[in-house]
Amino acid sequence: MAPKILVIGSINMDLLMLTQRLPHPGESLLSEQYQFGPGGKGANQAVAASLLGGEVTFVCKIGADAFGEQLRQGLERKKVSTEYVCVSESHNSGFAVIIMEADGNNRIIVHPAANFDLNKTDIDRAFNQHYDGLIIQFELAEEIVIYACEQARKRNIPIIVDTGPALDFPLEKIPNIEILSPNETETHTLCGLTPVTDEDCIKAAEILTKRSSAKHIVFKMGEKGAAHYHNGVLTRYPAHKVSVVDVTAAGDVFTAGMAVQYLTDGDMAKAIQYANAAGALAVTKAGAQESVPTAGEVEKMMGEVNLQKQQISERRIGDMIHEKLTGKVQKNALNLFTWLGDDVSLVDKDWCWEAKYKGEDVFYFRIGGFHDEANWLAWSAMDYSDAEIAEPYKKIAWENICTCGNCGSDCKPGRRAVIFGRAFENCCTSSLMFINPEGDGLECLKALINIRKRDITLRYIN
């Protein structure tokens, strides 16, 4: 059954202008093309949620002008309920100018107009029925965002907050959010950190979680994909490789796709994978709502990706270990995967091996000539601050694996240390490795995998 979603947000008429580059101060440039089209973060998300399978009701405010009527009709064509689309008596419809460069990057200037005329009475009217979730953004007056979240919370409606545009919003006033989803710029505005490295993501997520009490933090990171933080664990999801035309609505489509899938079955991993595919398709077309894909298009893309994975030959992990590893490391590796069971299989990828446990992705690992004199086992993507898994480190000797030579005296190949906390602060990589575990060390590895089986990246390097 399609989830019933209430979207409260902005709606604008967009003017999109295409140019090779931005003009310098005082310079005039000729635009290669321009077009008008419906936009606004709220409207984009409402349309996307509808096209991606949700039953959507949209609350917004338009002006009593030609643009306003066009915007209403556009929503209705996309099967979005306009029952609570209000008309301002004192403001024109919202308007945005989007300057898009040849590489697909853009600059946006928004005049909110009627969007900031939305009031509490308009919000109250919409809450006369139940919804499975609320999607809201920051292109409305601050007090309206806070009020709408209060009304949803009173009714136990999960709240999904897209933190665009980048504002220093008082997150403390909208507590107990289900999903808080900023992009890189918005993250920096809200907490002073840009989510680039795993360490940055974790620190930023911890700050945002403390401020908002959000259950899930999902970073939208463009061509770098997405990152999900929940209960102290960070999980990254790579982006799809596509030809970029226009990134205007990609974040809105991502948020809507994630919301529809999450509110359908509560599976966040599946929701982010779906959102990644939807956002990738959105950047292949120009315009805001014109770029929103349908559920069928997203499912087709995900099916093609899964087919490509299936076409990569799967091999038994034990066969690979016999071929690539020798001596004591081979024995211990076989011991480890025998413990994991016969349901472990292996997919040969371009950059690594992907291990599957009972058909589900468990971890990745790689085999290559990292050191001639020793065999190594390594893993990354763990939350090293978790007390539950920190204890086993006391029995394992670790070694930093950075080989860039630019990290300073604390980051030289061959320097061994016992690590109880996070990776070396001065190292360019968060990956850690341990030396040929056996006995207690091997048992510690098993314990770690057992605790966080789906959140471990395991690499075998020979």
* DSSP string covering 195-249: --SHHHHHHHHHHHHHHH--SEEEEE-GGG-EEEEETTEEEEEPPP----S--TT
CB-count burial class (<10 Å; 0-12, 13-18, 19+) for 298: buried
Residues in the chain: 462
* DSSP string covering 250-305: HHHHHHHHHHHHHHHH--HHHHHHHHHHHHHHHTTSSSSGGGPPPHHHHHHHHHHH
Backbone angles phi, psi at 95, to 5 degrees: -140, 140
CB-count burial class (<10 Å; 0-12, 13-18, 19+) for 167: middle
Q: Do residues 78 and 47 touch, judged by C-beta distance below 8 A?
A: yes
pLDDT for 143 beyond 70: yes
pLDDT for 5 beyond 90: yes
Please give the single-letter amino acid code of residue 311: Q
Give, as one character, the DSSP assignment of residue 183.
Answer: B
Q: Do residues 183 and 251 touch, judged by C-beta distance below 8 A?
A: yes
Q: Measured between alpha carbons, how far is 72 from 60 in angstroms, rounded to an integer?
A: 10
Pick the range with the lowest mean pLDDT from 150-154, 283-287, 354-358: 354-358
Strand order through the sheet with 216-220: 81-88, 55-63, 4-8, 133-136, 159-162, 179-181, 216-220, 226-230, 233-237
What residues contact residue 214 under an 8 Å CB cut-off, 6+ apart? 161, 176, 177, 178, 179, 180, 208
Query: Could you count the other beta carbons within 10 Å of the beta carbon of residue 299?
Result: 15
Give, as one character, the DSSP assignment of residue 453.
Answer: G
Q: Do residues 194 and 188 touch, judged by C-beta distance below 8 A?
A: yes
Which of 279, 379, 356, 205 is closest to 52 using CA atoms? 279
Q: Measured between alpha carbons, how far is 348 from 152 in angstroms, rounded to an integer?
A: 47
CA dihedral 176, 181, 186, 189 (to 10 degrees): 30
Between 324 and 208, name the one with better pLDDT: 208
Write down the pLDDT at residue 352: 44
pLDDT for 422 beyond 50: no
Q: Provide the token pair at 409.
A: 């005296």
Percent of the chain clearing pLDDT 90 (strictly above): 49
Which of 321, 376, 367, 368 is closest to 344 using CA atoms? 321
Q: Provide the token pair at 6.
A: 């209430």
What residues contact residue 321 under an 8 Å CB cut-off, 6+ apart? 330, 333, 334, 337, 460
pLDDT for 145 beyond 80: yes
pLDDT tens string 215-234: 999 999 988 889 999 988 88
pLDDT tens string 244-265: 887 888 999 999 999 999 999 9
Which of 43, 35, 40, 38 is closest to 59 using CA atoms? 43
Domains belonging to the chain, first-starting first, are 4-308 (3.40.1190.20), 314-461 (no CATH)
How much is the average pLDDT of 427-433?
32
Q: Measured between alpha carbons, how far is 96 from 147 in angstroms, rounded to an integer?
A: 25
CB-count burial class (<10 Å; 0-12, 13-18, 19+) for 165: middle
Q: Measured between alpha carbons, how far is 252 from 262 in angstroms, rounded to an integer?
A: 15
pLDDT for 97 beyond 80: yes
Highest mean pLDDT among 65-79, 273-287, 353-367, 395-409: 65-79
pLDDT for 454 beyond 50: no
What residues contact residue 188 under an 8 Å CB cut-off, 6+ apart? 166, 194
Between 427 and 239, name the one with better pLDDT: 239
pLDDT for 337 beyond 60: no
Q: Measured between alpha carbons, how far is 400 from 447 in angstroms, rounded to an integer?
A: 22
Q: Looking at the annotation, which residues are catalytic?
A: 252
pLDDT band for position 119 (cuts 50, 70, 90) = very high
Between 136 and 31, name the one with better pLDDT: 136
231-267: burial string, b at 16+ Cβ within 10 Å, e else = ebbbbbbebbeeeebbbbbbbbbbbbbbbbbbbbeee
Between 105 and 357, name the one with better pLDDT: 105
